[in-house]
Amino acid sequence: MIRRNTWILLIVLVLLIGATFYLNNQKKTSASSATPTPSQKFLFSPQDGNPTDIKIQDTIGNSVEIALNATGSWVLKAPTAQPADQSKAEAAATQLTSLNLLGNVQLDLNVVGLDKPTYTMTITFDSAKTHKVLIGSVNPIQTGYYVQLDSGPVQIADETGINSLIGMLSAPPYVATSTPATTLTPASSDTPTALPTETPSVVTTSTPISGTAVSTTPTP
């Protein structure tokens, strides 16, 4: 017959085994939750470097192009050649390198509007690489555009990022021009004020002389 002390030892042993099993499961759960999620995918590789020339065209001939000059400043090359707003041009370059992808799709080019793309982007990087991106239709859930990089697979790029880039076609990054302030000239206080001219009154008196009225006019 098993003694009472033996039962107690068995119960303690079972409890220890259960506690060990529980702690091991907790460690596994913590480790899995600490595992980093896959990073976002971007349209361009970090190895491409930074953009030095960005050209965007639409199907009706409109185009905008910005580029870094020899001094490292952004200039407009199209629609007109002139200095560019540095902050806006730099924002476009940053948006380009951070343009994230939402996934790939297995669809024909004519289904996603890439057989006749709405927009074409040509980008040159400081690594001397040049990429061409075709932009087609917006996907059905309005989250991205169907794009094709260098004749590669059809992908979906973030709609907000694409819109900010193609928006330069209608609003190129021109340098803002200041409007000169209008100075109001106060009226001169030395202007003489015309005084009213006094007109002498004419008094007519009648003195009866032999029944005839005589008119007398005083000299002013």
Residue showing tokens 């880039």: 165
Task: Name the DSSP letter for residue 110.
Answer: T
**How high is the pLDDT of residue 131?**
97
pLDDT above 80 (res 89): yes
Identify which of 15-19, 21-25, 35-39 has the greatest average pLDDT: 15-19
- If DSSP codes are grouped into helix, strand and coil, which group holds residue 48? helix
Pairwise pLDDT comparison (187 vs 103), residue with the higher score:
103
pLDDT tens-digit readout, 178-212: 655 555 555 555 555 555 555 554 444 444 444 44
CB atoms within 10 A of CB 170: 9
How many Å apart are CA 119 and CA 146, to the nearest integer? 11
